[in-house]
C-alpha cells in the first residue's frame, strides 16, 4: 500500500520501527541530499540502528566534511529510505536496482513522483534537511555537532545561504538551533558559497567579458562554449550557478545562459525577475518554472543567441 504521510509524528513513528536502513541520495548530489542522508544516518547509528548512505557515484570531494570518519557498515538493510529524490531516474544508474524497493521516501519537491511504500513529501519546505531537523525534534533526538553540520549544510545550500525566496522563518529558526548545537556555519558557508576553483572563476570572467545585451539592457545573455570550458580547464560539474549570472546585472529582467554540450548543441537556461521563463522555453520545446526554465537549441552559436534573444524580447 502506498501511504502518504502528512504529519511529522507519523514519519517519526516510521523511523522508530526501522531496524536497519540503506539511505539513498540522488545522482549529482548536492548539499541537501547528502546533508539529509548523513544527518539521518548518524542519528540512526546513534540509537543503535545500522545505517549506510548510498549514492550512484563516489561522494564528491566538495562535501568531504559531511562524511569525514564515516565508514560503511556491513549489513542487509531492512528498510530503504530515499532523501531528496523526486523520481526513480534521479537515483542514477548505480542505485537503479533500488528504484522499486523504496520503503520510505522523504522529499520536498512538489513534483515528487517516486513510487515508495510510504512517502513524506512537504513541498513547502525549503530543504529535506529542514524536514529531518523537525523529525529529530519530534523524536526527541540529541542533535550532535556532526548531525548539526549536516542539516545546516542542506538548509544553507538549498536557500542560497538564506538568500532565495524559499527561505522560511522556520529555516532561520532551524539554523539558529543548529548553530547552537555545534554546526560550524561560517566554515561551511565559506566552503559552499565563497570558494571557487580557479577554472570556474576564469570561466565566469571570460563569459562575463562576452556578455551581450538586448531589449534596452533588460535582456542579458552569456554563452559558455566547449572551447571556453576546455580553455579554462574547468570541470563541467563545476559550472553550476552560471545560469544566475546574467540576472545579477542591474536592470536586467531576463537572463539567458547558453551552455554548449559536448555533442555541440546549446542548453539554454532562462531566468527572469517577473516574465514567464517557461513560456519562452516552450517556444523551443522546453519548459520549467515561471522564473527558471530551460530548453535546447540545435543551431550554431550565433543563430541560437539570435533566436532566443528575439523570443525573450517578446516577453519584456
Residue ranges that bind its own copies, judged by CB under 8 A: 161-165, 167-170, 172-173, 175-177, 179-180, 185-186, 189, 193-198, 201-202, 204-206, 208-209, 211, 217, 244, 247-250
Minimum CB distance to its own copies smaller for 118 or for 204: 204
Three-state secondary structure string covering 102-148: CCEEEECCCCCCCCCCEEEECCCCCCHHHHHHHHHHHCCCCCCHHHH
State the nearest-atom distance from the C-beta of 245 to its own copies, in Å: 9
The SS3 call for residue 31 is helix
Q: Which three cell numbers stand for residue 75?
A: 549489513
Distance from CA of residue 268 to its chain's centroid?
19
State the nearest-atom distance from the C-beta of 203 to its own copies, in Å: 11
State the nearest-atom distance from the C-beta of 197 to its own copies, in Å: 5
State the nearest-atom distance from the C-beta of 220 to its own copies, in Å: 9
State the nearest-atom distance from the C-beta of 74 to its own copies, in Å: 35
Minimum CB distance to its own copies smaller for 205 or for 298: 205
Q: Which three cell numbers stand for residue 302?
A: 550565433
Minimum CB distance to its own copies smaller for 70 or for 193: 193
Minimum CB distance to its own copies smaller for 248 or for 261: 248
Please give the DSSP secondary-structure letter assigned to residue 1: -
Minimum CB distance to its own copies smaller for 13 or for 205: 205
Amino acid at each position: 500500500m502506498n501511504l502518504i504521510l502528512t504529519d511529522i509524528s507519523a514519519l517519526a513513528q516510521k523511523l522508530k520501527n526501522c531496524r536497519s536502513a540503506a539511505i539513498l541520495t540522488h545522482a549529482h548530489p548536492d548539499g541537501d541530499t547528502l546533508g539529509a542522508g548523513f544527518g539521518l544516518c548518524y542519528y540512526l547509528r546513534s540509537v543503535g540502528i545500522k545505517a549506510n548512505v548510498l549514492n550512484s557515484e563516489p561522494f564528491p570531494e566538495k562535501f568531504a566534511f559531511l562524511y569525514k570518519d564515516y565508514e560503511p557498515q556491513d549489513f542487509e538493510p531492512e528498510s530503504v529510505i530515499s532523501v531528496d529524490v523526486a523520481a526513480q531516474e534521479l537515483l542514477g544508474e548505480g542505485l537503479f536496482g533500488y528504484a522499486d524497493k523504496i520503503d520510505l521516501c522523504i522529499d520536498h519537491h512538489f513534483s515528487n513522483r517516486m513510487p515508495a511504500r510510504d512517502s513524506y513529501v512537504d513541498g513547502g519546505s525549503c530543504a529535506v534537511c529542514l524536514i529531518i531537523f523537525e523529525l529529530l525534534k519530534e523524536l526527541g533526538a540529541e542533535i550532535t555537532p556532526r548531525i548539526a553540520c549536516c542539516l545546516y549544510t542542506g538548509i544553507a545550500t538549498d536557500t542560497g545561504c538564506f538568500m532565495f525566496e524559499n527561505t522560511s522563518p522556520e529555516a532561520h529558526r532551524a539554523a539558529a538551533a543548529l548553530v547552537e548545537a555545534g554546526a560550524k556555519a561560517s566554515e561551511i558557508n565559506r566552503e559552499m558559497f565563497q570558494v571557487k576553483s580557479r577554472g570556474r572563476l576564469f570561466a565566469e570572467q571570460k563569459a562575463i567579458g562576452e556578455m551581450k545585451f538586448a531589449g534596452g539592457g533588460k535582456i542579458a545573455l552569456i554563452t559558455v562554449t566547449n572551447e571556453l570550458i576546455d580553455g579554462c580547464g574547468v570541470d563541467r560539474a563545476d559550472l553550476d550557478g552560471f545560469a544566475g549570472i546574467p540576472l545579477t546585472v542591474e536592470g536586467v529582467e531576463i537572463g539567458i545562459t547558453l551552455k554548449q554540450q559536448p555533442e555541440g548543441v546549446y542548453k539554454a537556461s532562462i531566468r527572469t525577475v517577473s516574465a514567464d521563463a517557461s513560456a519562452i522555453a516552450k517556444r523551443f520545446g522546453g519548459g520549467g518554472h515561471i522564473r527558471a526554465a530551460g530548453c535546447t537549441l540545435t543551431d550554431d552559436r550565433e543563430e541560437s543567441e539570435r533566436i532566443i534573444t528575439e523570443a525573450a524580447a517578446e516577453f519584456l
